[in-house]
Amino acid sequence: MPFVSIRITRDGVTAEQKAQVIREVTETLERVLHKPPEWTHVVIEEIDTDNWGFGGVTTTEMRGGRAPTPGAKPQSGA
């Protein structure tokens, strides 16, 4: 039973986009590894930018101290 865990920052990703990711990951596992879709579990976990950091700072700090606006595109490099 495949289990795929995907973690992303909470950046206004839509339900439709998440559904597409789940569908396409499932299709890839079926096509490449011959895993039946009904066996495949995909979990998308959204993390607040205050709780995701790299380079010694949080993603919120990296983006200039502001939390992302729902629906806004993330800045490049963060």
As annotated, the active-site residues are 2
Q: Which of 48, 24, 31, 59 is nearest to 4 (CA)?
A: 24
Number of H helices, E strands in the chain: 2, 4
Task: Quote the CA–CA distance of 73 and 43 in Å, as a whole number.
Answer: 22
